[in-house]
């Protein structure tokens, strides 16, 4: 029942009665949603509060071993594994691009505030903004290092690939254990 239908129904009931001064009682469920707020939000792999380099670190620390294990149970094919590794690398590239865009926008905003606040003579605030800008520049350098490391075999970005492969191998092992080794001879 819609909100307007409810008011129409109550209006008809109150006009038919002799007491027009009686208060209308609106049920709680018309205006208040009971339930867990997380049910109403979209599921997200990453925290919505993470921005910048923290988003990359969250991506790198995700549980790829479980993902590899589940993928092996779904399709124990080597080409499937290679495709998923490519997808993980592409996802990392997307995250890096998002972070670069975030920092570019932040740098423009900081530059604007630095110039406008220095014209206003707010020296302490300008110094604080410049310090913040230096921190952002350090993060940009770290992001660029991570981007370069994506192609190297001994980098922290390879952690996700090794973790995925380990999980995939565990999944293959579990399939063999359950389907072949547990059969009675």
| 57: in domain | yes
In this predicted structure, what is the pLDDT of residue 47? 44
| 15: in domain | no
Assess whether pLDDT exceeds 70 at residue 127.
yes
CB atoms within 10 A of CB 103: 18
Cα dihedral sign, 69-74-77-80 = negative
pLDDT (tens digit per residue) in 63-95: 899 999 999 998 888 899 999 999 999 999 999
Q: Place 128 in a pLDDT band, splitting at 50, 70 and 90.
A: very high
Query: Which residue range(s) make up the domain with 157?
Result: 51-180
Residue 15, both tokens: 């006009």
Contact 60, 159 (CB under 8 A): yes
Cα 90 from Cα 86, distance rounded (Å): 6
Give Cα separations from 77 to 72, 73, 85, 133, 183 (angstroms).
Answer: 7, 10, 13, 48, 22
In this predicted structure, what is the pLDDT of residue 154? 75
Q: Place 116 in a pLDDT band, splitting at 50, 70 and 90.
A: very high
| 72: in domain | yes
| 18: in domain | no
Place of tokens 């579990």: 174
Give Cα separations from 53 to 49, 68, 105, 136 (angstroms).
Answer: 12, 25, 14, 10
| 26: in domain | no
| 13: in domain | no
How many domains is the chain partitioned into structurally?
Answer: 1
Give the ranges where the chain is alpha helix by DSSP (H).
3-16, 28-31, 37-40, 53-60, 64-74, 78-119, 123-149, 158-176
Mean pLDDT of the chain: 80
In this predicted structure, what is the pLDDT of residue 91? 94
Closest CA to 58 of 48, 68, 66: 48
Give Cα separations from 59 to 10, 44, 88, 156, 158 (angstroms).
Answer: 53, 12, 10, 12, 12
Q: What is the pTM of this model?
A: 0.66
Residue 138, both tokens: 């350090």
| 17: in domain | no
| 39: in domain | no
Q: Place 139 in a pLDDT band, splitting at 50, 70 and 90.
A: very high
Contact 170, 72 (CB under 8 A): yes
In this predicted structure, what is the pLDDT of residue 42? 36
């Amino acid at each position: 029942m819609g909100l307007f239908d409810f008011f129409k129904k109550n209006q008809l009931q109150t006009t038919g009665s002799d007491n027009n001064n009686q208060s209308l009682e609106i049920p709680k469920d018309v205006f208040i949603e009971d339930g867990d707020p997380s049910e109403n939000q979209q599921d997200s792999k990453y925290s919505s509060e993470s921005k910048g380099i923290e988003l990359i670190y969250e991506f790198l620390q995700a549980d790829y071993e479980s993902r590899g294990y589940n993928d092996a149970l779904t399709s124990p094919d080597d080409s499937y594994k290679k495709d998923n590794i490519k997808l993980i690398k592409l996802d990392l590239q997307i995250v890096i691009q998002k972070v670069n865009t975030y920092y570019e926008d932040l740098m423009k905003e900081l530059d604007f505030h630095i110039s406008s606040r220095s014209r206003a003579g707010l020296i302490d605030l300008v110094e604080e903004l410049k310090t913040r800008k230096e921190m952002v520049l350090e993060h940009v350098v770290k992001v660029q290092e991570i981007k370069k490391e994506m192609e190297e075999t001994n980098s922290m970005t390879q952690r996700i690939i090794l973790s995925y492969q380990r999980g995939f191998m565990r999944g293959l092992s579990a399939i063999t254990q359950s389907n072949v080794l547990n059969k009675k001879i």
